Structure 1
């Protein structure tokens, strides 16, 4: 006897593991009214990082996605491709049954852009949170990718030893501390945080996703050259105002998408943690219920 499928789970509150695009993924679902809001974290950013955004959207339909390996699923054993990410997102929007407002952070930004380019009409609004962008992306050499794959496998095996997993958990906290104005090393870890960053599969997936960065950005660059961007798609690019050069690169991204850039001066990279209110304003502005955040 089979359990509920993805179309049922995206309307069922709570935490679920399901299969989308041929991959096992984790969903954190809040049923509600209005168009669905899909929340995508960057590399090593699990769904619970959006908890303040979700809380502010009580009564609205939100679905936060964790890619394979990060939460409650196994790392598939290979470096993820842009095509895989698009396949998973396309099936997610399909089971939602209507175009979604997509909020994509960091490395998930290229995934969301590729979804729009491959499947126009599936996204009704796009919010990019300090999204990854490169002016010129080169695909890595096969030997480099093979070395990264071996590193991911070593991480998977090494993290089975408690001291290694504990050290990785501390490293994760240091990384988060450096990417947020709100969080500090002395803060209590949120529920499930320690579990996520001591799981061997989670740690291996983080290494694998970081390893796949160059290849995925190069594939997106190829896609940009063969597709057009829908002119009627409402989009916002929210940029952490910590570095002038980064703000300029993000403006290039906004120009490419015909989007409005909003520089958030009092936020670092983890914008959904530092300024959830700005993220919520951006989401609601795309459905016509609130003014867009001020630059």
Structure 2
């Protein structure tokens, strides 16, 4: 029985506060919902980033309706046992946009950036605005070989089984903590996690999904590059926020802003986890894309 058959419809869940597991685009996903008013805001974390990383942005936008998505395997859902495709990500996002009922402002971090860009290109009008946070971009993406994909799928399955062993799980949890700490200017190495999520990165499905998502990077970026050749940007307004510590990366981000017609803002005092380091800058970008009447009532 699908989650929709077993419980409230998704259109109701996305308006109900708290944590929910539901089916979107044929996949089980986790949603964190903050009910509120006005244009909905969808929050899409990057690879290995859980939805709760956006809590500082929620605080910076009080009273606003926000829905944060965790892709399959991350929080409370099983890893599907395959490398995710760009088409699957777009199908999930389109179903979420349809569930909220109003074209949302989408905030996409890192690897979720290509997912959101592909959604806007393939389904003009589904999104009212797009904020890209240090989003993934390759100016000449190379598609991996089938053997590469098979090897990484095997590695994902190995992570699933290996993480059932306590030493493996402890080492994996420690490495993810170090990785997250290194990508933020604000977090300390002993940063705290919300209650109930302390064991997240010891969870077999979580670790398998992280390996699978990283492995899918090349194919997804190559699929997006193919899409660039067959679509034009649908004039969706946007903001590209870039962590400004590496000149080469800033230049790539400038290309991303140009091809999406977005305003480009370099945030010097932030690392990759911009929603943690500079939630105020993210909130300001969201507000700038809201309808004029809503901008007057938002306090950032």
TM-score class, shorter-chain normalisation, is: over 0.9
Where structure 2 has 5 or more consecutive residues not aligned to the other structure, the ranges are none
Cα distance in 2, alignment partners of residues 22 and 210 from structure 1: 21
- Give the Å deviation of 1:21: 0.1
Cα distance in 1, alignment partners of residues 194 and 185 from structure 2: 16
In the alignment, is residue 201 of structure 1 matched against residue 205 of structure 2?
yes
Task: Give the aligned partner of residue 81 of structure 1.
Answer: 85
Deviation string 1:136-157 (CA, Å, 9 cap, x unpaired) is 0111100000000000000000
| 1:74-113 equivalent positions in 2, closer than 5 A | 74-113=78-117
Match of 2:260 among 243, 257, 261: 257
In the alignment, is residue 47 of structure 1 matched against residue 51 of structure 2?
yes
The worse-fitting range, judged by mean Cα deviation, of 236-245 and 162-171 is: 162-171
- Give the Å deviation of 1:191: 3.2
Where structure 1 has 5 or more consecutive residues not aligned to the other structure, the ranges are 291-295
Number of matched residues? Answer: 289
Task: Give the aligned partner of residue 228 of structure 2.
Answer: 224
The worse-fitting range, judged by mean Cα deviation, of 265-274 and 175-184 is: 175-184
Classify the secondary structure of the residue corresponding to 2:199.
helix
- Give the Å deviation of 1:163: 1.5
Q: TM-score, normalised by structure 2?
A: 0.94
Match of 2:122 among 115, 118, 121: 118
In the alignment, is residue 24 of structure 1 matched against residue 21 of structure 2?
no
In the alignment, is residue 176 of structure 1 matched against residue 180 of structure 2?
yes
Cα distance in 2, alignment partners of residues 224 and 274 from structure 1: 31
In the alignment, is residue 238 of structure 1 matched against residue 248 of structure 2?
no
Task: Give the aligned partner of residue 11 of structure 2.
Answer: 7
Cα distance in 1, alignment partners of residues 62 and 264 from structure 2: 26
Task: Give the aligned partner of residue 273 of structure 2.
Answer: 270
Aligned-pair RMSD on alpha carbons?
Answer: 1.1
Cα distance in 2, alignment partners of residues 148 and 84 from structure 1: 18
Match of 2:75 among 63, 71, 94: 71
The worse-fitting range, judged by mean Cα deviation, of 190-199 and 50-59 is: 190-199
- Give the Å deviation of 1:3: 1.1
Deviation string 1:4-48 (CA, Å, 9 cap, x unpaired) is 121110010000000000000000001110100000000000000
Q: TM-score, normalised by structure 1?
A: 0.96
- Give the Å deviation of 1:194: 2.5
